[in-house]
């Protein structure tokens, strides 16, 4: 898994006389090309030779600014803290800002954001640009897993799954892209899942939403390449979260079809292979956050970052014949 490395500090120079000629040559070059330094702000400015307009290049004088969705827990919270530690201007969002009060105390700007609300989406992006003078990076992290066999998932619940996991990132991306094009650069990082590569029983709704997100992200990456906007997918395997509690919330016992008892048993026991209760194959939220930070900082990030051993398995398992994958599930059923 790719991890973010700490930025190197520039070495201090104690040479003075030897650098004088180079400094003079650099000053002459800046004067000839129209580039100067404001003596009061020490901000580099450039003068357009045709219009005479002078503009400040603030890329080296301001903090980079990131907007992160779904920061109330887990990956989102860890990601906000990781960007803060790297000295970014962090705009952390959640449906209820009371849930991210500690992030505000840590130094984040916090905003209320429900990714299914178009007005809140537009406001969050505009506020981010106001706060940071730009939106350098958008992290679409907000999401949840609607689990259970598809027969037990209502059409309304399926629509809600896609509204959050697919339409939400789409709304934010559309709002952010005009600003990134105007800036001449930007990063969009979509948090997917290993089930965005390979679907498993009991996760059809969630896997469907993540497959859709991956397909859209692949298209987007090619569409915006000419604008120097990088688009990356993060594909975690199981992460230490409250998976079992969430399963009970999404599909209570009294709404489960008894015929799928074995499948529900498998879902309830999934933490044994690392579904979020400290299993041996579970990643920690900080592991995913490190991959997100790397994707935001690396000059040419890869298209995908699998995180954790199960995610690495998923990269290869999708190439297995369907019959073999189905047979593997049948074997697990017999062992339960």
Q: Which residues are catalytic?
A: 206
| Residue from 91, 104, 80 nearest 133 by CA | 91
Q: Look at the block and give the residue holding tokens 């899942």.
A: 193
Asked if 91 and 132 touch (Cβ cutoff 8 Å), the reply is yes
- In the three-class reduction of DSSP (H, G, I as helix; E, B as strand; rest coil), residue 65 is classed as strand
Q: Are 88 and 64 in contact (CB under 8 A)?
A: yes
For residue 266 the two structure tokens come to 């498998």
Residue positions counted in the chain: 336
> Which of the 8 DSSP states describes residue 4?
P
For the four alpha carbons of 114, 243, 161 and 212, in that order, the dihedral sign comes to positive
Q: Which helix (H) or strand (E) holds 18?
A: helix 17-33
């Amino acid at each position: 898994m790719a991890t973010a490395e700490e930025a190197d500090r520039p070495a201090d120079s104690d040479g003075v006389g030897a650098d004088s000629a180079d400094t003079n040559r650099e000053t002459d070059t800046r004067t000839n090309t129209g580039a100067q330094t404001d003596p009061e702000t020490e901000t580099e400015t450039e003068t357009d030779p045709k219009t005479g307009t002078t503009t400040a290049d603030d890329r080296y004088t301001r903090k980079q600014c990131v907007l992160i969705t779904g920061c109330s827990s887990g990956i989102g919270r860890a990601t906000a803290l990781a960007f803060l530690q790297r000295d970014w201007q962090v705009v952390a969002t959640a449906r209820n800002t009371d849930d991210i009060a500690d992030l505000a105390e840590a130094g984040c700007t916090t905003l209320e954001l429900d990714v299914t609300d178009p007005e809140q989406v537009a406001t969050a992006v505009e506020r981010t640009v106001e706060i940071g003078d730009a939106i350098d990076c958008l992290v679409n992290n907000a999401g949840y897993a609607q689990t259970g066999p598809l027969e037990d998932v209502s059409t309304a619940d399926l629509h809600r799954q896609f509204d959050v996991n697919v339409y939400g990132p789409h709304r934010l991306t559309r709002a952010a892209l005009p600003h990134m094009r105007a800036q001449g650069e930007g990063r969009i990082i979509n948090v997917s899942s290993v089930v965005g590569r390979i679907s498993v029983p009991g996760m059809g709704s969630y896997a469907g939403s993540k497959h859709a997100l991956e397909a859209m992200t692949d298209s987007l990456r090619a569409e915006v390449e000419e604008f120097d906007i990088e688009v990356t997918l993060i594909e975690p395997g199981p992460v230490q979260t409250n998976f079992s509690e969430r399963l009970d919330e999404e599909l209570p016992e009294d709404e489960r079809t008894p015929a799928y008892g074995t499948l529900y048993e498998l879902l309830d026991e999934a933490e044994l292979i690392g579904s979020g209760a400290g299993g041996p194959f579970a990643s920690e939220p900080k592991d995913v956050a490190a991959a997100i930070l790397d994707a935001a900082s690396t000059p040419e990030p890869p298209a995908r970052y699998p995180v954790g051993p199960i995610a690495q398995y998923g990269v290869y398992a999708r190439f297995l014949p369907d019959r073999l994958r189905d047979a593997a599930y049948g074997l697990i059923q017999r062992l339960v």
